Structure 1
Amino acid sequence: MNSNSKLTFSNPAFRVLKKDGEPCRRLLDELFLLNYSARPFADDVYLYLPLTRRPNGDELSTLFSRLSHLESFALVSSFSQEGNESGFENILLEKFVVDAAFSAQEKQPTVFDILGYAVAYEMVGDIAVIDDKSVSEKASETVSEIAAAILAAHSGIRTVLLSRGPVSGEFRIRDLEFIAGADKTATVHKEYGCIYNIDLARAYFTPRLSTERSRILSQIHADDFVIDMFAGVGPYSVLIAKNAQPKTVIANDKNEAAVSLLVENIAQNKVKNVVPLNLDAVDLAKEYAGTGDHVIMNLPHNACDFLDTAVKLTKAGGIIHYYAMTSDDDLFDGEIEKIRATAEKQRRSIEVIEKRTVRSYAPHQYNICLDVRIC
């Protein structure tokens, strides 16, 4: 392997199909498992991503649960972790974690290297947004130090903002404070071959759902009718329209500013089968009742308020992708019962296809997704 390199060293690698490389790289980086002192490489089939160490059981479980929709994981998706957890971990290790010969590359210092402690932040285009939980107990001087470290560690970042609390309000906007760099909130973000015009002060967007968006894309078939009830600037709608050839994607959002950016993103990505709408989601059923092969409900804090409309929108056999915030003492069952009860009021039944923990949101709180067929 990697025969073109003169200086090589043995290092554990995460081996995946080349087509699945980007979502795997993102998640390994999120888990602090990506080794930046080694240069990734590929052969005819696989991409080899250098690891800082071999993943432990919890990390393997996270990798599988969040990437299981990818083709790389298809051969192991039939195995269950229930009752044979150690055996399943061994299967994952054997298939995906291998020793490989990497060439060294000059290591760009990370924010952790510079500060000596971990900081939660996300990068949207050339803007970094610091999570307020990382600095809530630190002085303003420390916030400036964190911003300087981010700018030093990421050459492509031009602006550092601080998020003062969670998303709030009808349009899910974050309270952002400018900290360093160029004073702006607008940027251009690239994800899975799509380009998005973003303004973080006007419309919500997070790159942390990129893997989840890819998972939903993998379920869409040609000629499907897709309804994105809370589309925002279009990260689900545009990605699906560009890559899955659905019949139509109805992309709706009540936030006029978000829809304005959505229209720009439809044009930017040259997709023709997206219909942008600026409606209250409850009004969608007036025209689109019984049409949805897939209905996306990415409004995790209060999607339950729109379940009646979502069920009306979904055709027999169609699937609702329902997002919610739940606690670890009731991850799925309570939300499933809400969907079941709503469907029964309309004399319909449900089949739960998949239950997923998308990400940790706060201590003991999780962003979950339920894929539910409406019969």
Structure 2
Amino acid sequence: MTQKTQNTISADGFDVAVRYAFRVHKEDGEPVRRILDEFDIVDYSCKPFADDVYLYLPLLRYPEKEERLAVRDCLMPLILSLPHPKEKMEYHSWYVKDLSFQVHKKAPTVSDLLGFSVAYEIIGDIAVLDDKIAANESGDEIDVSKVADAILTAHPAVKTVLLSKGPISGEFRTRDLEFIAGIDKTETVHKEYGCKYKVDLGRAYFTPRLSTERHRILAQIEEGDVVIDMFAGVGPYSILIAKSAKPAQVIANDKNDAAVELLNENIALNKVQNITALNEDALFLAEKYASTGDHVIMNLPHNAYDFLDTAVTLCKSGGIIHYYAMTSEDDLFDGSVTLIREAAKKQGREIEVLETRNVRSYAPRQYNICLDVRIL
């Protein structure tokens, strides 16, 4: 059974709380914290502290065994890429019982400041308000400038607030954005799992909402694999894999000139060597890379089905396609499995469905899904 944290007590004029802690080398604290954050176990009401060697991150609870194993599996690719992996392999010593942490003074949230909730995402130092922001629960029109002020107050690191004027659209999956407050810009640097990505939200697609999904794919990459990222964008899948796994090669392709320009900047920014950046129509990748891919990533959910014939051709025998799609709740997976099976059948090949995942809700009754399918 998961052990709960103890109640807050008062000592030396300030509030402290006794918590389980996650112990990590100080220099690795931020990438590890980002991974732990995906499991919702970091207690942000408490202030981390460090000694000469370690940083101690306060936890909301001591994770169950299955959760501890999942944390370990997510951290291992990062640990093996760090300068002192042997010392970090002792994952059972990561958790420390009954440490005292100073409690943060509670800062107001956006909801506290406004009196109602709004949807937004933070990318680097830019906050993007959801395009559906129109009225609060009482039906009153929302003043987006007041929402922007609340975001800037609640998130001191945010420098810009933009309003999405509609859904992602067009061949290059971009958004029409309106400047609301702060610094008028669309460029920023977003940090995720120890990688840095320069993005331009007005010219190339990027979302932090797939960070967990990107890490899930990373965990499947084995040393010496060839990875083909057919729709790489600015490189969040490709660079993470090249930096944290040991692939023989990553082919990162995108048709959007602006995205590939940023991709090349991000390759240099993250100091990765084993990536080939291409600016091609994905339909033509098979001319050079047929039967070479151990993993083929198809993160173009609105119309990846148009490229399935090429993806099958790219896969070596036993290669895996990671196929993303937008589907309705009436047919989450079956239709997509049929499309992949038919594409494989054209080439005299069979498939094995390894995993089906509902990645996130996209719209009412619509979901962003992923299928991991082995091509035999």
Q: Which TM-score bucket, shorter chain as reference?
A: 0.7 to 0.9
Q: Percent identity?
A: 60
In the alignment, does 2:109 pair up with 1:110?
Answer: yes
In the alignment, does 2:72 pair up with 1:50?
Answer: no
What is the deviation of 1:357?
Answer: 1.2
- Structure 1 Cα separation of the partners of residues 262 and 119 of structure 2: 27
SS at match of 2:143: helix
SS at match of 2:106: coil
TM alignment of 1:161-240, pairs within 5 A = 161-240=162-241
- Structure 1 Cα separation of the partners of residues 230 and 179 of structure 2: 31
What is the deviation of 1:99?
Answer: 9.3
Q: 1:209 to 1:42 in 2, by over 3 A?
A: farther
The AA in structure 1 aligned to 2:303 is N
TM alignment of 1:1-375, pairs within 5 A = 7-9=15-17, 21-26=33-38, 28=40, 36-39=44-47, 47-50=57-60, 70-71=71-72, 102-135=101-134, 142-375=143-376
Q: What RMSD over aligned residues (CA atoms) do the two structures have, in Å?
A: 3.3
**Paired positions, count:** 337
Q: Which runs of 5+ in 1 are unaligned?
A: 75-95
- Structure 2 Cα separation of the partners of residues 271 and 249 of structure 1: 10
Q: 1:156 to 1:73 in 2, by over 3 A?
A: closer
Q: 1:73 to 1:238 in 2, by over 3 A?
A: closer
What is the deviation of 1:23?
Answer: 3.0
Q: 1:110 to 1:198 in 2, by over 3 A?
A: same
Residue in 1 that maps onto 2:81: none
Q: Which runs of 5+ in 2 are unaligned?
A: 76-94
SS at match of 2:265: helix
SS at match of 1:184: coil
Q: 1:170 to 1:353 in 2, by over 3 A?
A: same
What is the deviation of 1:14?
Answer: 9.7
What is the deviation of 1:72?
Answer: 5.9
What is the deviation of 1:8?
Answer: 2.6
For the Cα contact (< 8 Å) 1:36–1:107, is it kept in 2?
A: no
What is the deviation of 1:331?
Answer: 1.3
Q: 1:183 to 1:68 in 2, by over 3 A?
A: farther
With the length of structure 2 as denominator, give the TM-score of the two structures: 0.80
Q: 1:178 to 1:34 in 2, by over 3 A?
A: farther
- Structure 2 Cα separation of the partners of residues 20 and 135 of structure 1: 37
- Structure 1 Cα separation of the partners of residues 73 and 315 of structure 2: 31
For the Cα contact (< 8 Å) 1:16–1:48, is it kept in 2?
A: no
Q: Deviations over 1:191-239 (max 9, x none)?
A: 1111111100010001111111111111111111000000000011111
Q: 1:361 to 1:100 in 2, by over 3 A?
A: farther
What is the deviation of 1:135?
Answer: 3.0
- Structure 2 Cα separation of the partners of residues 14 and 211 of structure 1: 22
Q: Deviations over 1:255-282 (max 9, x none)?
A: 0000000011111111111000000000
For the Cα contact (< 8 Å) 2:36–2:71, is it kept in 1?
A: no
SS at match of 2:318: strand
The AA in structure 2 aligned to 1:126 is D
Q: Deviations over 1:137-170 (max 9, x none)?
A: 7877611111000000111111000011111000
- Structure 1 Cα separation of the partners of residues 120 and 300 of structure 2: 21
Q: 1:225 to 1:212 in 2, by over 3 A?
A: same
For the Cα contact (< 8 Å) 1:357–1:369, is it kept in 2?
A: yes
- Structure 2 Cα separation of the partners of residues 16 and 331 of structure 1: 40
What is the deviation of 1:103?
Answer: 3.1
SS at match of 2:361: strand
SS at match of 1:242: helix
Q: 1:136 to 1:304 in 2, by over 3 A?
A: farther
Q: 1:70 to 1:310 in 2, by over 3 A?
A: farther
SS at match of 2:369: strand
Residue in 1 that maps onto 2:87: none
What is the deviation of 1:49?
Answer: 2.9
- Structure 2 Cα separation of the partners of residues 42 and 340 of structure 1: 53
